[in-house]
Amino acid sequence: MGTADDTRATLIRFGRLAFAEKGHDGVSLKRDVLDPAGVSTGSFYHQFEDKTDLLLAILDDRSSRALEIVERNHDGAEPNPQRRVAARLRLWFDLVEVGEELFRIHARELHHPDPRVRDRVVALRHRTFAPLTSRLGNVDRLNPDFDHALASSFIHATVAAAALDYLDLPTERRAEVRDSTIEALASFLIGGVLGMADRITIPKQVTS
């Protein structure tokens, strides 16, 4: 018989799969989590208050691991902004592939009505993309009123959309377009559409 920790880990694992596929509101606790996990209703409520509490545990569990990886991989020594941004994007795509379910949950729950969920999603987004914003060049020197939060929001929207398109590709296709997608994104973040057109064209398989 498994321990309470085993039960909790099982619920988090099956909950992550269910929330990634259906979103919080679309998940039936019993049908989509408890039955596949082989966990009784009583055992669930011994661990969590409700399915929102389970979602919060999933976000805390995987988000903290993702942040540890992001913060360990500092690329400030690279002098070229294009290469700094590309290096950060490669790390982001690594995280997205390893934690695909978490990424899909974050994409689904950005506007969740519960502020506890929303705050966790926004916090991870900010802590992930604020360093990327600072790698775009000496923006503070060029404009002391530069709005990092707004820029991070724009960057997140751009990169997250590209990452979702990437994840929707068949697994065998991802390797073929990964590098060119990252280079195109880096060029776009540095120089906009003209910068991207001047360097590389994003593959049609990703944008179609």
Share of the chain above pLDDT 70, in %: 74
Determine, yes or no, domain membership for 53: no
Determine, yes or no, domain membership for 73: yes
Q: Are residue 44 and residue 129 in the same domain, yes or no?
A: no
pLDDT reported for residue 70? 64
Q: Which two tokens stand for residue 4?
A: 């309470």
pLDDT reported for residue 140? 53
Q: Are residue 41 and residue 67 in the same domain, yes or no?
A: no
Residue with the larger pLDDT of the pair 168 and 99: 168
Q: Are residue 8 and residue 79 in the same domain, yes or no?
A: no
Q: Are residue 31 and residue 68 in the same domain, yes or no?
A: no
pLDDT in tens, 170-201: 988 999 999 999 999 988 888 775 555 555 44
Tokens 């500092």 locate to: 74
DSSP helix/strand/coil, 119? helix
Q: CATH code at 32?
A: 1.10.10.60
| CA–CA separation, 63 and 128 (whole Å) | 10
Task: Give the confidence band of 87 by pLDDT, cuts at 50, 70, 90.
Answer: confident
Q: Are residue 86 and residue 43 in the same domain, yes or no?
A: no
With 0.85 as the threshold, say if the pTM is over it: no
pLDDT reported for residue 20? 94
Determine, yes or no, domain membership for 54: no
Task: Give the confidence band of 202 by pLDDT, cuts at 50, 70, 90.
Answer: very low
Among 57-71, 122-136, 190-204, where is mean pLDDT lowest? 190-204
Spatial contact of 202 and 196, defined as CB atoms under 8 Å apart: yes
Tell me: pLDDT of 79 over 70: no
H/E stretch holding 30 reads none
| CA–CA separation, 117 and 60 (whole Å) | 10
| CA–CA separation, 141 and 134 (whole Å) | 11
| CA–CA separation, 132 and 197 (whole Å) | 21
Determine, yes or no, domain membership for 84: yes
Q: Which residues of 127-162 are buried (b: 16+ CB within 10 A; e: fewer)?
A: ebbebbbbbbeeeeeeeeeeeeeebbbebbeebbeb
Q: Are residue 124 and residue 188 in the same domain, yes or no?
A: yes
Determine, yes or no, domain membership for 161: yes
Q: Are residue 19 and residue 115 in the same domain, yes or no?
A: no
pLDDT in tens, 21-60: 999 999 999 999 999 999 999 999 999 999 999 999 999 8
- The whole-angstrom distance between residue 4's C-alpha and the CA centroid of its chain comes to 29
Number of domains in the chain: 2
Q: Please identify, among 28, 48, 68, the residue that sits at the C-terminal boundary of a domain.
A: 48
Mean pLDDT of 139-168: 77
Q: Are residue 132 and residue 172 in the same domain, yes or no?
A: yes
Determine the structural domain holding residue 79 and report its residue range.
Answer: 59-207
Spatial contact of 73 and 94, defined as CB atoms under 8 Å apart: no
Q: Are residue 75 and residue 3 in the same domain, yes or no?
A: no
